[in-house]
Each structure stands twice: as C-alpha cells, then as structure tokens.
C-alpha cells in the first residue's frame, strides 16, 4: 500500500481537486483506493457526496483503529472508498497533540488498511504544524500543487527546508504546477525556469486552469468522470502516470 498526500501550506491551490481526480483515476485503473479527507471543510467528501457518521469524531478515530474501519464509506465508484471529514477534524491538531507518539500516529492508524487498499490519497488542510508532520511521516510521496506566481518558489523552498529539518528524504517531496494559464507570460516563464532552479523535483505534467475542473462542485463528480476527454482530465491522467511511477506502482 502506498500513501500519497496532497499538501501545501497555501489554500486554494488545487489540493482537493487533485486529490479527488487522482483518487478517481487510480480507482478506474483498478487500484484499490482510499481517500482520506483530513480537511475539516470536507470539500473532497462533498465532491464524492459522502458524509461522515456522527460518531466518527477525531478523538475516537485517533484512539481506536476499529473506529477508522467503521468510518470508511463507499463512494459511487468501484475500488474507491473515502474516510470523510468530520466537523471535529477542526480539532485534529489538538487531538493529535494529546495522544502519544503524535507524529507517527497517522501512519499507525493506516497500517491495518494495508490489506484492503493499494493506495491511500490524503487531502490535507493548509497547515504546517503537527498534522503536516504526521502526514509527512505517513506518506510515501508528498505532492505539492504550485501555482506559478512569484511567491510560490519561496513557499516551496520553505517546505523543502522543513522536510530537511525533520530528517525526511527529499525524494519524498514532489511539486506539480497547478492552475496554469499559458496565456500569461509569467506562467510560461515559471514553467520553464522554476523546475530548473528548484531543489524540489517537479512533475512534468501541469494542471491547467480548466472550467471543467472548476465545475466539479456543481455536478459533484471528478472531472475524470464527467469530462474524461477535457484538457483538465487528460492532464490529471498524465500526472497520475508520473505519480504512479514515483510511487513505484506497476504500470
Ligand atoms: N485546474 C483548475 N482550474 C480551475 N479551477 C480550479 C482548478 N483547480 C481547482 N480549482 C478551483 O479552485 C478552488 C480551489 O481549489 P481546491 O482544489 O479546493 O484547492 P485547495 O484544496 O488547495 O484549497 C476551487 O473552487 C476549485 O474548484
Ligand atoms: Mg482543499
């Protein structure tokens, strides 16, 4: 079982869209996938039309692995389950802090799922705290959406240093361009230059600004489902191929 985390300290960069679309794409290939919605706002759960059970609070999930099992719901798609966000996930940081071995807790929580799933996709809230540390430890690959703007380079480099300070291998960190608008000169330039300059490896497939991806909230379906031939969905597919390889999963 491999664990892929969509992470950025920034909000609105396309983490949830990527988590939802990549999870759906993987499942369509027959990869048994679990989407873990850690963001209390529950956007990923919303896209999959799934609500958390009332009893699946963060405290219970952290203390009892059987509860995790019971919190997992099926989606409308074969091979794709979700652990939906519960509103108590707002307290995730504090709840994690209160348990022993906080930093490795998430990884341990996921261990029993090895039998059931080939891939866990984590949709992260935008924080750089204990939750992020726990995610970094649980993940085989931390995938960071980068919108090609001037400040994103600094944000990405901060994350790289954070990784280093935590003693995590650099190979576990990978960026991809998100919300790319090729009509903009700055975007085209950044796409050329940043991967060369950056000490963080970049995926080759950028995700463009796409009205289809933006519309996912209306139909509450992954773009790879309702518009599989759109530029947005095809970009997701290419990104998935790179991610799959980076995770060492079979082609
Ligand atoms: N490639 C894209 N093209 C157009 N809109 C997008 C794209 N990716 C995300 N969005 C929109 O941008 C907003 C933020 O995206 P989201 O995935 O929720 O970001 P995050 O999870 O990083 O906060 C949402 O309204 C979403 O519909
Ligand atoms: Mg999100």
Mean per-residue pLDDT pooled into runs of 10, the chain (251 residues): 97 97 98 97 98 96 92 98 97 95 94 96 93 97 95 94 95 97 97 96 98 96 98 98 95 69
Q: Whose CA is nearest to atom 10 of ligand 1?
A: 214
Helix (H, G, I), strand (E, B) or coil at 251: coil
Ligand 2 centre from 29 Cα, in Å? 24
Q: Which of 17, 23, 227 to mutate to test the pocket of ligand 1 (most atoms within 8 A of CB)?
A: 17
Pocket test for ligand 1, best of 10, 14, 37, 179 (most atoms within 8 A of CB): 14
Q: In 3-state terms, what secondary structure has residue 222? A: coil
User: Residue for token digits 């997992």?
Assistant: 72
CA of 67 from ligand 2 middle (Å) equals 24
Please report which ligand is nearest the Cα atom of 144.
1
Residue closest via CA to ligand 1's atom 16 equals 14
Instruction: Give the pocket of ligand 1 (CB within 6 Å).
Output: 11-17, 43, 179, 207, 209-210, 213-214, 217, 232
Phi, psi of 128 (to 5 degrees): -125, 75
Q: Whose CA is nearest to atom 18 of ligand 1?
A: 16
How far does residue 193's CA lie from ligand 1's centre (Å)? Answer: 24
Residue corresponding to tokens 């901060």 = 158
Superfamily of domain 2-246: P-loop containing nucleotide triphosphate hydrolases (3.40.50.300)
Distance 200 CA to ligand 1 centre (A): 22
Mutate to test the pocket of ligand 1, among 12, 42, 146, 236 (most ligand atoms within 8 A of CB): 12
What distance in Å separates the CA atoms of residue 238 and residue 218, rounded to the nearest whole number? 24
Quote the CA–CA distance of 138 and 100 in Å, as a whole number: 16
151-154, long-range: CB within 8 Å, 24+ apart, which pairs?
152/10, 152/190, 153/194, 153/197, 153/198
Which distant-in-sequence residues (6+ apart) come within 8 Å of 151 by Cβ?
A: none
Residue indicated by tokens 């919605």: 37
CA separation, residue 65 to residues 91, 94, 99 (Å): 18, 19, 14
- How far apart CA 60 and CA 164 sit, in angstroms, is 32
The pTM assigned to this predicted structure is: 0.98
Whole-angstrom distance, CA of residue 7 vs CA of residue 223? 20
Please report the pLDDT score of residue 16 as a whole number. Answer: 98
């Amino acid at each position: 079982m491999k664990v892929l985390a969509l992470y950025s300290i920034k909000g609105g960069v396309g983490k949830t869209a990527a988590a939802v679309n990549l999870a759906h794409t993987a499942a369509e290939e027959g990869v048994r996938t679990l989407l873990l919605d850690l963001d209390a706002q529950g956007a990923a759960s919303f896209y999959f039309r799934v609500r958390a059970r009332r009893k699946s609070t963060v405290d219970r999930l952290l203390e009892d692995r059987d509860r995790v099992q019971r919190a997992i719901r099926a989606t409308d798609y074969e091979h794709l389950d979700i652990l939906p966000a519960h509103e108590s996930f707002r307290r995730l940081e504090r709840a994690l802090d209160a348990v022993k071995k906080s930093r490795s807790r998430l990884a341990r929580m996921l261990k029993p799922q090895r039998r059931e799933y080939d891939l866990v996709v984590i949709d992260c809230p935008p924080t750089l705290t204990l939750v992020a540390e726990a995610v970094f430890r649980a993940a085989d690959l931390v995938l960071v959406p980068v919108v090609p703007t001037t400040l994103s380079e600094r944000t990405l480099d901060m994350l790289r240093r954070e990784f280093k300070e935590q003693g995590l291998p650099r190979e576990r960190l990978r960026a991809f361009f998100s919300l790319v608008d090729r009509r903009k000169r700055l975007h085209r330039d950044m796409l050329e230059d940043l991967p060369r300059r950056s000490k963080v490896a970049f995926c080759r497939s950028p995700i463009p600004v796409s009205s289809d991806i933006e519309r996912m909230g209306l139909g509450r379906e992954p773009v790879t489902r309702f518009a599989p031939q759109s530029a947005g969905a095809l970009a997701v597919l290419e990104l998935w191929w790179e991610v799959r390889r980076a995770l060492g999963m079979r082609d």
